[in-house]
Amino acid sequence: MKKIIVTGGAGFIGSNFVHYVVNNHPEIHVTVLDKLTYAGNKENLVGLPSNQVKLVVGDIADAELVDKLVQETDAVVHYAAESHNDNSLNDPFPFVQTNIIGTYTLIEACRKHNIRYHHVSTDEVYGDLPLREDLPEYGEGVGEKFTAETPYNPSSPYSSTKAGSDLLVKAWVRSFGLKATISNCSNNYGPYQHIEKFIPRQITNVLSGITPKLYGEGKNVRDWIHTNDHSSAVWAILTKGRIGETYLIGADGEEDNKTVIELILELMGQSKDAYEHVQDRSGHDLRYAIDSTKLREELGWEPEFTDFRSGLVDTIQWYTDNQEWWKSEKELIESNYAKQGQ
Ligand SMILES: NC(=O)c1ccc[n+]([C@@H]2O[C@H](COP(=O)([O-])OP(=O)(O)OC[C@H]3O[C@@H](n4cnc5c(N)ncnc54)[C@H](O)[C@@H]3O)[C@@H](O)[C@H]2O)c1
């Protein structure tokens, strides 16, 4: 493998993956295919060597462009998506268009040219798990986590379009022999994440003198993973994963939102209760938790960033040092949230 296409490589997780490839595999040439929506930012790729990384601004649903690029590559790693649950509740159409039609367009081109394809997805396709505190102390369901066998049960337009795209890939493997793998990862944090998302929103609230906002009571649990660990896992699956398999990626990082907001406040030198409760997200999933045994045992992958607190310290530092990266968008993001009582 010498050349790969990374779709959505100017977004949060995609750009971190491109940095990971450049830093660890200098022999690989990366073509980033990105539409540069509000969530994509050329700045995320600044400083990367131009002889190793090329940006093509375009839509993954543009069949002609995709066909041309795919026939010149060895593999496609597909990150591009509409990715924000709250936006999907306000306007689901772009989610259907990009996440379903866009994925369809990519896998059709990969099928036609017999190109290796890796599909990046989310654990949200599985719906949610009960909170641990609501589980009986002993008995069925205790310690339950998502595995590749968990039935799909998505809650939001975002997660349902991601689920739909996963199912297309599974069918293309079975019906057409597409050389594909799928990964479903838990919630990522780290540099370059759009400030509409929970962790960077709260960090940039503190930096802007705005009171941080907690959805509802903040009991909802997410299984946090540093985005660099997501990148190393995707690389392991792309290079060593078995065709047709699904691998779940997670780093045992379960934390509820209240704990996360309090930790951010503490690490930023504020009082732990200096936040306000806002209206909960409609259909808000309760708990996600990943069982990544298959990935660890089969491919020998291990996460590096297992200390959430120190990962958060680094992330806070990044948003503090890179205020010009997010400042111009802050007012608009907060006024959009305010319109929804959030
Ligand atoms: N954020 C998470 O915690 C998380 C967790 C698990 C999986 N994922 C998955 O990882 C992928 C990346 O997520 P993210 O958080 O980096 O998203 P993001 O919103 O930060 O980035 C998405 C990127 O895709 C690009 N894009 C959107 N529509 C496009 C189109 N039609 N054509 C080409 N490019 C387009 C955007 O410009 C942007 O650069 C998604 O598939 C998401 O479902 C995310």
The answer to whether 235 and 196 have CB atoms below 8 angstroms apart is no
Distance 133 CA to ligand 1 centre (A): 32
pLDDT at 199: 98
**Which residue's CA is the closest to the ligand 1 atom numbered 7?**
122
Provide the mean pLDDT of the chain: 96
Confidence of residue 282 (pLDDT cuts 50, 70, 90): confident
**pLDDT band for position 144 (cuts 50, 70, 90):** confident
pLDDT confidence tier of residue 140, bands split at 50, 70 and 90? low
**Residue range 270-287: average pLDDT?**
93
Instruction: Give me the mean pLDDT over the 203-222 stretch.
Output: 96
Report the distance separating Cα 212 and Cα 277, nearest Å.
9
pLDDT of 138 strictly over 80: no
Cα distances (angstroms) measured from residue 58 to each of 46, 75, 84: 18, 18, 20
* Range with lowest mean pLDDT among 85-89, 129-133, 241-245: 129-133
Read off the pLDDT of each residue in 229-250 and give the average, rounded to a whole number: 98
The confidence score (pLDDT) of residue 133 equals 80
CATH homologous superfamily for 3-194+226-254+289-307?
A: NAD(P)-binding Rossmann-like Domain (3.40.50.720)
**Residue 37 CA to ligand 1 centre (angstroms):** 10
pLDDT in tens, 289-341: 999 999 999 999 999 999 999 999 999 999 999 999 999 999 999 999 999 88
Over residues 248-255, the mean pLDDT reads: 97
* Burial track 295-323 (b if 16+ CB lie within 10 A, e otherwise): bbeebebebebeebeebbeebbebbeeee
pLDDT band at 142; cut points 50, 70, 90:
low
Instruction: Say what the pLDDT of residue 90 is.
Output: 93
User: Percent of the chain at pLDDT above 70?
Assistant: 98
Q: What residues does ligand 1 touch, defined as CB less than 6 Å away?
A: 7-8, 10-14, 34-37, 39-40, 59-61, 79-83, 98, 102, 120, 122, 162, 185, 187-188, 194
- Can you tell me whether residue 14 is helix, strand or coil? helix
Count CB-CB contacts under 10 A for residue 214.
21
The reported pLDDT for the residue numbered 286 is 93
Neighbouring C-alpha atoms within 13 Å toward the C-beta of 225:
28
Query: In the structure, what pLDDT confidence band is assigned to residue 200 with cuts at 50, 70 and 90?
Result: very high
- The single residue of 124, 229, 256, 291 carrying the catalytic annotation is 124
Per cent of the chain over pLDDT 90 is 93
β-pair type (180-185, 75-78): unpaired
pLDDT tier at 74 (50, 70, 90 boundaries)? Answer: very high
At 283, is the pLDDT very low, low, confident or very high (cuts 50, 70, 90)?
confident
Which of 26-35, 98-107, 141-150 bottoms out in mean pLDDT, i.e. has the lowest? 141-150
pLDDT at 58: 98
* The two structure tokens encoding residue 51: 């002889």
Told to judge if 124 belongs to the known catalytic residues of this protein, a careful annotator would answer: yes
Residue 158 annotated as catalytic: yes
User: Is residue 141 pLDDT above 90, yes or no?
Assistant: no
